[in-house]
Every structure is written in C-alpha cells, then in structure tokens.
Amino acid sequence: MMQAASSPVRATAGVRRALVLAGAIAMVVASTACTPNQTVDRGAGATGTGVAGSGTPSGPTTTESPSSAPTTVPTTTPSTSPTSAPPATTPVPAPTKPVTKPATPTKTAEPAPAPVVVLRPGDSGPKVRALQARLRQLNWFEGDVNNGYGSRTTAAVRGFQAKRGFDATGVLDERTWDRLVAMTHTPTSDELANVKPTLVQPKPGAISWDVDPRCLTGRVMCVSKTTRQLTWVVDGVPQYGFDVRFGSDELPTREGVFSVYKKQVDVISNLYHTPMPYSMFFSGGQAVHYSSNFARLGYAGASHGCINVRNKPLLVQLYGEVRIGDKVVVHW
C-alpha cells in the first residue's frame, strides 16, 4: 500500500525534472537563435549553415519559459544584394526655335534738295531791278538800278549771302531772297526809277536829326549810331526823338532797313533774363525797348544788341503810335 501510494509522487517529480530540463535546453536554443543565419567558413570545400542547423524553417522562432508567455523573436535575413533605386531622370526640355527679329531696313540719308533758284547771272527784267533796289537799301548795291543781272548784282548778292553765313554763290535762291525781303521794304517807284528823294526840311522850331534818305518815306523809326538818337519820322517829317544806346562790339546792333514784326509790353529776355518792357521787335531778337539800366548808368554800359531807350514816357507814346510793318532804319 505504501509503495503504490508513492509511485505517483515519483512520477510527478520525474515529470517536473523532465520539464525543467526541457526548458533549459529550450532557453539555450533560443539564446542562440537571436542572431541571423550566417555562413561559416570551415575550410575549402566545406559549407556550414547557421547554428539552428539545416532544415530549420526560416521565420520567427518562438521560445517558451515556464513563467512567461511565449515570446516571438523576429529573424532578420539580410538581402543578398543591395537594392538601389533607379536614378532620377531629369526631363529634357524640348528644343525651342530661336525667335529671329526681322531685319530693320537701314534708312539711307536722303541728300538735301538743291536750293530753288529765283534769279541767276544773265537774267534780265523788272525782277532784277527790284532785287537791285532792295540790295541798295542795305548799301550792298552801288549806283543806279537796271534790268540786267550782271557782275555788280552778282557781287552784291554774294556779299549779302556771306554776311549771313549762306553759301556765297552770287545766285539768288529762295533762302537768300526770303532773308532780303525780311530786311527791306518794297521798293518805291522813285527807287526803281533812280529818282533821288528830296530832303524834307524840318519846320522852323522842329527838332534836328541825322537825316538818312531811307527815312524820308512812310513811317520810320530812324536810328543814328552817330548821334545816338532815335527819331520818329512820318512822311519825311520828324515828330520827336530821344537818346538811345546800342550793343557792344561783341553783340552789335544790326544795321540796315527793317520793319516792326512784333510788339509786346511785358517781355523777359530768354537769353539774358532781363526785362525788356515796351518791346518793338525789328530783327530777330533785337528790339527797341525801355532799359532801366540805361536810365541808371547811361552810356557806361551797353545792350545785348537791342536799341535801349531811357525816356520811358516818350517811349510809351511811341509804342502807342508805331504799327506792325512800320520801318526801322539803323545807320551811321
């Protein structure tokens, strides 16, 4: 009875020992299987496998201990060859067709047109006589006028052109004619017939003035550089006059026969920024006008080419009487 009762106890103890032994073996196996499979070189011609041995299935290995739940340990298998990503491809833009601008046509400078000839040497007629009369008004033509465009007329035209910077050809072209017309008046019948003007004697008690034959007809501001006087003359009769001042040697007042083409009370010089009140323009920018500088300094100074007046009340009176187109004669 005693033997029979102890047999189950021995059996149970044996089973426990067997289980403990089996668990220890399993722990040894599990601790070895934590490394990946690897090849071991055993010498030439010998090939080995991992410690798990051949025939061990790949994949996770499960170990078990008596006091814990089963633990799954992943087995990592290295790849035999590295996987490389394909190189990135940079898209190549499609070739663009170059844009070519149309060639700009080269502009060829056109030659300046030849001057239009009005009269030339060898011509004759009343137009030549009128040309000579205008040139004589400016003292370019000497002697009596006639109908022939000869050597005297050619020399007079050439001198007039050279004085103004034109091509001194001696041939009357439109440019020369326009300038001559702007500086002279239409010849009178006496001028065309070579009739000498009769000097008009001033009335008793009238003012004295430097008489110039070109001042004896029409309405004229007769300006003498010799006496430095401006005389207002109507039909050869002097009305009144006053002192005037002229330009310097560098900026001289032009001489000749002109006409008033513009009047303006309030004027400021564009070049010299000085006031020019009561201006009566007769040749480009030159004008008869009042000058406070002349009134203050007298003849100690000079103008920039204009005819300065210092008697303002009398100039204002003259400004009211002078008309556009009235003649201006500047002489010695």
Which pLDDT belongs to residue 81? 46
Residues 303-319: pLDDT tens digits?
A: 999 999 999 999 999 99
Quick: pLDDT tens for 153-177: 999 999 999 988 999 999 999 999 9
Structure tokens at 159: 């001198």
pLDDT tens readout for residues 6-29: 455 455 556 566 555 555 554 544
- The angle subtended at Cα 248 by Cα 245 and Cα 249, nearest 5°, is 140
Q: pLDDT per residue over 199-244, tens digit each?
A: 455 554 468 899 999 999 999 999 999 999 999 999 999 999 999 9
Are 141 and 153 in contact, with CB atoms under 8 Å apart?
yes
- pLDDT at 260 > cutoff 90: yes
Q: What is the 3-state secondary structure (H, E, C) of the chain?
A: CHHHHHHHHHHHHHHHHHHHHHHHHHHHHHHHCCCCCCCCECCCCCECCCCCCCCCCCCCEEEEECCEEEEEECCCCCCCCCCCCCCCCCCCCCCCCCCCCCCCCCCCCCCCCCCCEEECCCCECHHHHHHHHHHHHCCCCCCCCCCECCHHHHHHHHHHHHHCCCCCCCCEEHHHHHHHHHHCCCCCHHHHCCCCCCCCCCCCCCCCCCCCHHHCCCEEEEEECCCCEEEEEECCEEEEEEEEECECCCCCCCCEEEECCEEECCCECCCCCCECCCEEEEECCEEEEECHHHHHHHHHCCECCCEEECCHHHHHHHHHHCCCCCEEEEEC
How far is it, in rounded angstroms, from Cα 130 to Cα 141? 12
Cβ count within 10 A of residue 83: 5
Q: Are 276 and 268 in contact (CB under 8 A)?
A: yes
Q: Looking at residue 308, what is its pLDDT?
A: 97
Q: Supply the Cα-derived Rg of the chain in whole angstroms.
A: 62
Instruction: Give the pair of three-digit tokens for residue 53.
Output: 């041995």
CA distance 331 to 228: 10
Q: Percentage of the chain with pLDDT > 70?
A: 64
Q: Examine the pLDDT at 278 and tell me if it is beyond 90.
A: yes
Could you read off the pLDDT of 166-206 as tens digits, one per residue?
Answer: 999 999 999 999 989 887 778 889 889 999 866 455 554 46
Mean pLDDT confidence for 251-270: 93
Whole-number pLDDT of residue 71: 45
Give this prediction's pTM: 0.43
Q: Hunting for tokens 């109908």 — which residue is that?
A: 147
C-beta of residue 326 within 8 angstroms of C-beta of residue 259: yes
| 8 Å CB contact between 124 and 148 | yes
Alpha carbon distance 258, 247 (integer Å): 17
